[in-house]
Amino acid sequence: MLTKRLIACFDIISGRVTKAVNFQDNIDIAPAEQLAESLYNAGIDEIIFYDITASSEKRRIDIETVKRVAKCVFIPFAVGGGIKDLDDMYEALKAGAEKISIDSMAVRNPQIITEGAKAFGSQCVVLSTQVKRTDSKPSGYEVYIDGARIATGLDALEWIKRGQELGAGEICLNSIDCDGTLGGYDLRLMKMAEENLSIPLIASGGAGKPEHLRDLFTQTDAHAAIISSMLYSPRMDRNYSSGELKEYLLECGINMRR
């Protein structure tokens, strides 16, 4: 049985980690490298780093922050935001990232998924997708880009299936409706997604207590969970360490990395 993974997701503005609710009202948390080192030492399995204003500001990823974070951690580290072409992917990998997460640019130029997979291997390419509930799409969810600011007209399920066909090695699926709310993952969305994928699914958006992780891993076949708020959000009554979350999940019979 494959082990499940706990992933810290950093929304980066000017080299600092921030935390938002539904992609709004970001609260400053800490320098990215400082928080990365702390979570690495506490046993987090992976880190995903999003330069969240790069796409909307039409600039490239903050490569200096990528370098600083990469020096502090020795676990899988994915980066995204402002990745426009293979040169950007190469620069991020050279700076210390192990995976590239593409989101808005993949919608604008789907072939970047295939190009990245061919150049660096599918395992390096994560298709990150922000989706919102709607009655206008067959799946009930629509894809948004540019920090969840712009609706694309794409059906979420059809888009992630296409991303898999184009060569993505993982799908990171975030519910805009649940993001930062601490009310739990959108289990309907995640179950529908994993049933239509043969590559790993990372679930994102909504985790606020250990039971939410238990429900995700027992009610869906998601391979990994993003748990940002639980780790460091000031909106939480208390924060959790990855170690205590893993112990709880192991007690629930869920196979976790130690």
In angstroms, the CA 53 to CA 32 distance is: 15
pLDDT category at 236 given cuts 50, 70, 90 is confident
The domain total for the chain is 1
Q: Within a domain: residue 258?
A: no
pLDDT category at 23 given cuts 50, 70, 90 is low
| Containing structural domain, residue 154 | 5-251
Question: Could you tell me which residue, 20 or 239, shows the higher pLDDT?
Answer: 239
pLDDT tens by residue, 168-197: 999 999 999 998 889 999 999 999 999 999
How large is the average pLDDT for residues 201-224?
A: 97
Residue 102 belongs to a domain with what CATH number?
A: 3.20.20.70
pLDDT of residue 148: 84
Long-range pairs for 72-75: beta carbons < 8 A, 24 or more residues apart: 72/33, 72/36, 72/37, 72/40, 73/36, 73/37, 73/40, 73/47, 74/40, 75/40, 75/44, 75/45, 75/46, 75/47
pLDDT category at 254 given cuts 50, 70, 90 is very high
In angstroms, the CA 196 to CA 54 distance is: 30
Q: Within a domain: residue 93?
A: yes
pLDDT of residue 1: 65
pLDDT tens by residue, 97-156: 999 999 989 999 999 999 999 999 999 999 999 999 999 999 999 999 987 889 999 999
The backbone torsions φ and ψ at residue 80, rounded to the nearest 5 degrees and listed phi first, read -155, 165
Q: Within a domain: residue 115?
A: yes
Q: Within a domain: residue 218?
A: yes
Mean pLDDT of the chain: 94
Share of the chain above pLDDT 70, in %: 98
pLDDT category at 198 given cuts 50, 70, 90 is very high
pLDDT of residue 22: 58
Q: Within a domain: residue 211?
A: yes
Answer yes or no: is pLDDT of 220 > 90. yes
pLDDT of residue 53: 84
Q: Within a domain: residue 36?
A: yes
14-23, 30-39, 232-241: lowest mean pLDDT where? 14-23
Q: Within a domain: residue 256?
A: no
